[in-house]
Amino acid sequence: MYHGSGRASQESASASVPGAQAGDTVALDGLDLTVNEGEFFGIIGPNGAGKTTTIGVLTTRVLPTSGTARVAGADVVKNSVTVRQRIGVVPQRPNPDRSLDAWENLIYHAAYFGVPRREAARRATELLERLEISGKARMKVDQLSGGQQQRLMIARALIHEPIILFLDEPTVGLDPNARNSLWEILRELHGQGRTIVMTTHYMPEADELSDRIALIDRGQLLALDTPEKLKLQTPDGSLETFFIAKAGRGLDA
């Protein structure tokens, strides 16, 4: 299913979210990171670290106040429409179109991306099956459980065959079973060579899935390396300890 190749990179992106939703404001301060093609890239940090802002900038939903960010070959500000066409986004909380059923959520989303109807139907059938929610296709999305809605969000993010998939804390609020099966799906997608950028504040999740991890806090990059190399830097070999040493606070803070 995966055909594209590309890379997301963000250089010195500095973004601040205006206080429309109080408490969401996290300024990025000199965050430099480059995601390689085909890589599973984890961004980890506690609440308020700037994870969602980073994803927001990379997915064209937050305007950086300075710096540049390029995703899949296009600038997120100057060519936001091009970037949107090449990315898939799984939000922190499922936000399906509640006026449509699960099937229509996929079909109309595909239509927004110019996928012909017949091809969209073929891909929707395949994705629903692979994500094990075929039985829910004609149900209103409100009738789907949290985990099923999250899978629908993944199907929606994939139906236009994006070059890069962004997931913002995709397992928050899921029970352990749903989390495990989501991990399976993400491993499979990564195995097919897709570039994935995922944020989490759950260390085992980042450790389990990522090729490389960026530890961020208060909008700054604290460390960036493979999980193995990061773990080598602490006496007890745990990412958690490494983070506390770097940030001066734990991930749950």
Partner 1 sequence: MNSMSAAAPIASIEMLHPPVPAWRVFLALLSRDVRVARRELPFFLVRTIMQPMLFVIVFGYLLPKMGFTQAGYQAALLPGILALSLMLSSTQSVTLPMVTEFGWTKEIEDRLLAPISTDLVAVEKIVNAMIQGIIAALVVLPLARLVMGPVAGFTFSHVPELLIVVILSAAAASAFGLLLGVLISPQQIGFMFSLIITPMIFFGCAYYPWRGLDVVPWLKYAVLVNPLVYISEGLRASLTPSVPHMPFGAIVGALAVLTAGFTWAALFRFRKRAIG
DSSP 181: H
Q: Which stretch binds partner 1 (CB under 8 A): 91-99, 129-137, 173-181, 208-216?
A: 91-99
For residue 54, the minimal CB distance to partner 1 (Å) is 12
Q: Based on the shown chain and the rule CB under 8 A, indicate whether residue 100 belongs to the binding site for partner 1.
A: yes
What is the number of alpha carbons within 13 Å of residue 54 lying toward its C-beta? 39
Strands of the chain (E only): list them.
8-15, 31-34, 40-44, 64-71, 74-75, 87-90, 164-168, 195-200, 212-217, 220-225
Contacts (Cβ under 8 Å, ≥6 apart) of 18: 25
Count of residues of this chain found to bind partner 1 when the rule CB under 8 A is applied: 50
Contact residue for partner 1 among 42, 45, 50, 91 (CB under 8 A): 91
Smaller CB separation from partner 1, 73 or 146? 73
- Asked if residue 99 binds partner 1 (CB under 8 A), the reply is yes
Cα 84 from Cα 74, distance rounded (Å):
10
Cβ(70)–Cβ(10) under 8 Å? yes
CA dihedral (165, 38, 230, 228) in degrees, to 10, reads 120
Closest CB 141 distance from partner 1, rounded Å? 9
Residue 157 CB, shortest distance to partner 1, in Å, is 9
Using CB under 8 A as the binding rule, whether residue 139 contacts partner 1 is answered as no
Q: Is 82 in the site for partner 1 (CB under 8 A)?
A: yes
Q: Identify the burial level of 46 via C-beta atoms within 10 angstroms of its C-beta, where 0-12 means exposed, 13-18 middle and 19 or more buried.
A: middle
Tell which positions 21-80 bind partner 1, by CB under 8 A: 24, 34, 37, 53, 56, 59-63, 68, 70, 72-73
The two tokens of residue 6 are 């590309």
Rule CB under 8 A: choose which of 27, 111, 139, 222 binds partner 1: 111
Tokens of 92: 């922190």
Q: Considering the complex, what minimum distance in angstroms separates the CB of residue 19 from partner 1?
A: 10
- Please say which residue, 5 or 134, places its beta carbon nearer to partner 1: 5
Interface stretch with partner 1, choices 156-164, 184-192, 209-217, 228-236 (CB under 8 A): 156-164
Angle of the 117-130 helix axis to the 146-158 helix axis, nearest 10: 140
Alpha carbon of 85 to those of 33, 44, 76, 145, 217: distances in Å? 22, 26, 11, 29, 30
* Residues binding partner 1 (CB under 8 A): 3-7, 9, 11, 17-18, 20, 24, 34, 37, 53, 56, 59-63, 68, 70, 72-73, 81-82, 84-87, 89, 91, 93, 95-100, 104-105, 108-109, 111-114, 156, 161, 163
